[in-house]
Amino acid sequence: MSTPPRDKVQVGWICALPEEAAAAREMLDENFGTLKEQNGTDTNSYILGRIGNHYIAIAVLGQYGTTSATAVATNMSRTFSRSLKFGLMVGIAAGIPSPGHDIRLGDIVVSSPAGTCGGVVQYDTGKLVKDGKMERTGSLNAPPRLLLNAVLAMRSSTMTEVPKYLGYMEKAIHRNERTRKTFGRPDVSTDRLFRAECEHPATASTCEGCLPDWEQPRTAREDDEANIHYGIVASGNAVIKHAATRDQLGRETGALCFEMEAAGLMMDFPCIVVRGICDYADSHKNDTWHAYAALAAAAYAKELLDYVPSADLDTEKPVIEVCRRSSTYRVMPQE
């Protein structure tokens, strides 16, 4: 099939890393290749594709950070100004396990409103008060209602039906020898959650010498499915690699994971955040789960689009109009 015109593209899929982009491409029902013509001020590179009835533009940030995410989303809004309706921020993140959330490597976290939070909190923005505590003073937008409705419909369906994202993952993993090597699920023995006080030895390049006694006891799961968690995503420009800091910020924000781009999108770009858990934001070395976690997030995003009716999407205002008509970052009064 020939490449569709730009005005057909209604969904912007944003990712930050090569393995995230590779996972996104595996989810396309049709891949139309690179976009040949775009806005003259747009420095993004796009892969165009189709998932179900939706035409998708995939863009890769090229570097970490909320500022980079903002720039990519702004450029995307220019090139697809007539048609773009919402975005998906899809990729990997560091999990924040807690007594209330049994988060494992390879699981999926989806940004969802909780209390007064729209689903994403920028943990490194606010004002410092007594004892150096950060008082967060901003509120980021929730995902658009169309996507929240799709999430609810998907959650309801997976209570009684086998979710499709599991099949999407299997198909991508087993497509050829290279995809098996890239996206195959790591052995469960490499999913090690260490107690916060057990720091990784500074001189050790791997965790082979990290003792089993250092690990947090956890009940084995009945299967190896990627589980889904809905709640708050913590976003900021600092890489968290310290378990005690992870746990503290988790308690303060109620977040389920850390990542570095979403806050730059939620300010100016109606979207939802889907993250595969690749590590535990601690000092221990583990890059083994990156590609599998990226694939899990991409597979969830593909299934989520099944629950977005094309007719409803056609009636939505383009992203560029939504941004013009509303202030997407609401700063609460400061004392």
Cα separation, 297 vs 319, in Å, equals 23
Q: What is the DSSP letter of 180?
A: H
* DSSP per position, 287-328: -TTHHHHHHHHHHHHHHHHHTS-HHHHHHSPPHHHHHHHS-S
Domain 6-197+224-331 matching CATH 3.30.565.10: the answer reads no
Interstrand relation of 86-95 and 9-15 (parallel, antiparallel or unpaired): parallel
CA of 92: how far to CAs of 15, 38, 104, 154, 203, in Å? 9, 28, 13, 21, 27
pLDDT by 10-residue block (mean), the chain, 335 residues: 87 96 98 92 95 96 82 93 96 96 98 93 68 60 95 96 96 98 96 94 87 93 93 92 94 95 87 97 92 98 97 91 56 31
The CB density around residue 223, as the number of other CB atoms within 10 Å, is 6
The two beta strands, 228-235 and 108-111, are parallel
The 8-class DSSP code of residue 114 comes to B
pLDDT at 303: 98
> What was the pLDDT predicted at 90?
98
Residue 205 burial (CB count, 10 A)? 9
Is residue 143 a contact partner of residue 111, using CB atoms and an 8 Å limit?
A: yes
In this prediction, residue 64 carries a pLDDT of 73
The whole-number pLDDT of residue 131 equals 58
